Amino acid sequence: MNSDTNNTATLSEIEGLLRRFRFKEVLSDDTSSKTIWLLGAISTTNSTSDADEPVVAGHNAAIVVLERMAFSPLEIAEADLSITTLLDSAVLATAERNDVYAWATGETNVSALKPDLRIALTYPATQKHIDKHRRQLRRWVSETPELYAQITKPLIDSQPASRIQWVYNILSKQVESEHIVYEDPDPESGFIIVPDLKWDATNTDNMYLVAIVHRRDLHSLRDLTSAHLPLLNNLRSKATVAAQKYSVSSDQLRLYIHYQPSYYHLHVHITNVLLEGKGMLAGRAHLLDSVIDNISNIAPDYYQRATIPYVLGSSDELWSHWIAHQ
């Protein structure tokens, strides 16, 4: 099946699922990124009579993410649009003014700028997926090596491999092979770099790539030692090569590792420094340069000895374990 045929089949499948989506509740929203997370059920039919069908995690539950897409200067240029044409097309709905400042809401009717909405779908959504996106309480915790051994590591070890099967599918090229930006096949120091699902793969100012290592024995930052410096240095070097595809230079890159990560298979986030977001906040993001420096110049087992503070959400699996420990 060629890529066009595959894309048509995937498009048809997703459209069919979205038509059967029955909205239940808003899990959360983010006004800064103009994104909203919706929980619902995928009905077995297209009938509206099943609107009251209960949401069952792991069965018919679905999460739909709606995100307003950003303007792309390149897109406007390629569409041969003048700013006058763009503004002339605007239909204003509300407007206010205060001295020299004015603002309004409205919409444009320029077909060249569409699509203007990005939709993400998780189906069937597990309870973990639902909890991850639900608005929740948050708290700071300071994870000592002892607390990691008592609380976090047992949870990581208990995770079934099926939970990250989608990662293995990427590494084995069963899916997303056409999206691979760069690959180093070495089983010890290699990885695959693909665009993150949150990026539209067009606006380079928002470039967001993810490097997923081939090794399956590295789950998080806590596993890294001096033995893994060849992998980390290789990844840092090759990330520059991958970013060049989007004309993003080495001094425009931000490389970091999340702790806690959203899934326990080592991966590194590669973004344009112009991109800002919650994933870069203190309490979660650890710059790859700092990780390499800590291991190289402070201690080869730095991350086995360090106390690592992070923000923990009340819907996170770890939350109940921390509460039980107190």
Active site residues: 267
- φ and ψ of 139, to 5 deg: -150, 155
DSSP state of 164: G
Number of helices (H), then strands (E), belonging to the chain: the values are: 11, 14
Distances (CA, A) of 132 to 57, 109, 125, 204, 318: 13, 36, 11, 28, 12
**136 and 314 Cβ atoms separated by less than 8 Å:** yes
**Distances from the Cα of 41 to the Cαs of 61, 122, 129, 153, in angstroms?**
5, 11, 14, 33
User: Residues 128-140, buried b or exposed e (16+ Cβ, 10 A)?
Assistant: ebbbbbbeeeeee
